[in-house]
Amino acid sequence: MTGHRSILFLDSRRTDDTETGERPDYFVDLNLDQIVAAVIAGHDDYGLEPLFLRPLHSADAVVYRQEVARDLEDATLFARIAAFTDAITAMRSELALSAKMRHAPQSQRWHLKAAETYVDAVTRLSGDLMEASIASRGMLSFRDHLGGYVSSPAFLELRGDVHALLETLAGTRYRMEVGGESIRVGRPEAETDYTVDVLATFERFRQGDVVGKVHRTRERSEQMGEFSMRMLRFVARLYPDTFASLAAFLASHRAFLDPTVADFDREVHFYTSYLAYVAPVREAGLAVTYPAVSAASKRVGATRSFDLALAQKLLGDGVPIVCNDISLKGKERILVVTGPNQGGKTTFARMFGQLHYLASLGLPVPGEDVRLFLFDHMYSHFEKEEDLVEGNGKLEDELVRLRDVFAEATPSSIFILNEMFTSTTVEDAVFLGTEVFQRIIALDALCVCVTFIDEFVALSPTAVSMMSGVDEDAGARRTFSIVRRPADGLAYALGIAEKHRLGYVTLKNRLTS
């Protein structure tokens, strides 16, 4: 076995189950809370949230994850991984049942079932990974580990024991003769399936497909009562060796789960849950791609990008999604967004923040040709509705917060500012806003600023102006154009006929093609 540690971290750091992540301050402002909640929904048992709360700061660490994610983009591999994790989930509930059973043979049988599920899942995954064309360092090293593990003597012994015992159990058939008040249990003789006999007699009448035979299982997973115990004891007496092997199996294979396999099961959910989350967005024709990231260059760009949380919501409502481009080149650092309300300004600002955050997790992001900067801190400032009524007290809080922010901000920080100082007069807002701006300019940090004050653009050559507009064509349904034509009699009716492709030539073509 090799030194594989994690498919999430390049530096071989184990993801620690006790890790607790605090949500960054900007999490709610950028709707990242919605995204993460939706991504991890349904995977509660894996404690995935902390994994989504740790942005990476080195390009290599990001690329390490991007490689793994790209491998998992392969639909076949994705499905196989999903089958594996489903099996591990099933195994866990089987183990839970085993622990719950008071009657020893029953508990032993559930333990065997769990081991069977595990052995099959691991063996299949190992084979699947061998077949798959994987290229990431993370998956390759896990594949090596798994290959070594499945050919290790311990695993081979486990697998051998599981299958031998299952085969023995399959032979434990018993005959029951159930009367109204008594039952006789014994070993079966060579007997036919009478249902088949009966059906054979009536087969000649069968006209179409008739529902096939259903194999019934009687629930005995709950704690057994007196009667079931006694029946089982009869069967145990008919097959004493089988029941002894069952007890021996549990004794020799009590803990069989490999810790690295268990870690993989959890960590791979980081990728698969996110890829599953963006799948419908991609199906709707929107791009979610792997960004180029750099901790050195502040050149930022994205084509046809969008707010991922909003896109999910709009897709659900069947509303078309508007995409936007971003571009900051050369010395450009600041996007000043002005324009009428309801024009998507806030969404644009969120999108900028989301892109950077998701990229720092090593995940694919909305848009094409995306190039992003790896930040050390991100700060968001979103005007809340209630701030408007609070007055001066609020303004002071706002300033205190900003002071703290600037105390720790660095040239590698990113600022997302949405309508600062709206609770003051315009004159104050210009003054205060200019102060804030000057600091950001001095830091040479990346910034998106949504504002109604267009003077800000003039503050520095590093600022770029963007405007939202109410596009009159947006959302308007295409209609048949109405043009004036001279009234020439035939043209009208023939025009309608031709519109329906019923003109002589067109119609003949339709009929002969």
Stretch that binds other proteins, among 210-218, 294-302, 313-321, 370-378 (CB under 8 A): 210-218
For residues 246 and 115, give the distance between their C-alpha atoms in angstroms, rounded to a whole number.
Answer: 12
CB 103, min distance to other proteins, A: 8
18/205 with CB nearer other proteins: 205
For residues 236 and 234, give the distance between their C-alpha atoms in angstroms, rounded to a whole number.
Answer: 5
Q: Would strands 463-467 and 334-338 be described as parallel, antiparallel, or unpaired?
A: parallel
Site for other proteins in 150-179 (CB under 8 A): 169-170, 172-179
DSSP-assigned beta bridge partners for residue 448: 335, 416
Query: How far from the centroid of its chain's Cα atoms is residue 198's Cα?
Result: 51
In the chain, what is the greatest distance between 2 CA atoms, to the nearest angstrom? Answer: 101
For residues 14 and 389, give the distance between their C-alpha atoms in angstroms, rounded to a whole number.
Answer: 48
CB 192, min distance to other proteins, A: 7
Give, in degrees to the nearest 5, the angle at Cα 278 between 273 and 280.
Answer: 115
Site for other proteins in 112-151 (CB under 8 A): 113
232/464 with CB nearer other proteins: 232
Buried b (16+ CB within 10 A) or exposed e, 164-179: ebeeeeeeeeeeeeee
Q: How many residues bind other proteins (CB under 8 A)?
A: 82
83 interacts with other proteins by CB under 8 A = no
* H helix or E strand, kind and range, residue 204: none
Nearest to 290 by CA among 63, 476, 84: 63
238 interacts with other proteins by CB under 8 A = yes
Instruction: Find the binder of other proteins among 1, 83, 329, 504 (CB under 8 A).
Output: 504
403/500 with CB nearer other proteins: 500
Site for other proteins in 293-322 (CB under 8 A): none
198/262 with CB nearer other proteins: 198
104/426 with CB nearer other proteins: 104
Stretch that binds other proteins, among 43-51, 75-83, 209-217, 308-316 (CB under 8 A): 209-217
503 interacts with other proteins by CB under 8 A = yes
389 interacts with other proteins by CB under 8 A = no
Q: Could you tell me if 416 and 452 are in contact, meaning their C-beta atoms sit under 8 angstroms apart?
A: no
Site for other proteins in 176-205 (CB under 8 A): 176-188, 191-195, 197-199, 201-205
Instruction: Find the binder of other proteins among 81, 97, 162, 250 (CB under 8 A).
Output: 97
496 interacts with other proteins by CB under 8 A = yes
For residues 112 and 247, give the distance between their C-alpha atoms in angstroms, rounded to a whole number.
Answer: 10
DSSP secondary-structure letter at 367?
B
How far is CA 106 from each of CA 183, 221, 233, 466, rounded to the nearest angstrom?
22, 8, 12, 69
Q: Any idea of the CA torsion for 434, 435, 439, 444, to the nearest 10 degrees?
A: 0
44 interacts with other proteins by CB under 8 A = no
79/183 with CB nearer other proteins: 183
Stretch that binds other proteins, among 14-22, 300-308, 470-478, 498-506 (CB under 8 A): 498-506
480 interacts with other proteins by CB under 8 A = no
Instruction: Find the binder of other proteins among 3, 20, 216, 251 (CB under 8 A).
Output: 216
Q: Could you tell me if 333 and 447 are in contact, meaning their C-beta atoms sit under 8 angstroms apart?
A: yes
488 interacts with other proteins by CB under 8 A = no
At residue 106, the 3 state secondary structure works out as helix
95 interacts with other proteins by CB under 8 A = no
DSSP secondary-structure letter at 386?
T
234 interacts with other proteins by CB under 8 A = yes
For residues 350 and 326, give the distance between their C-alpha atoms in angstroms, rounded to a whole number.
Answer: 12
Stretch that binds other proteins, among 104-112, 286-294, 359-367, 389-397 (CB under 8 A): 104-112
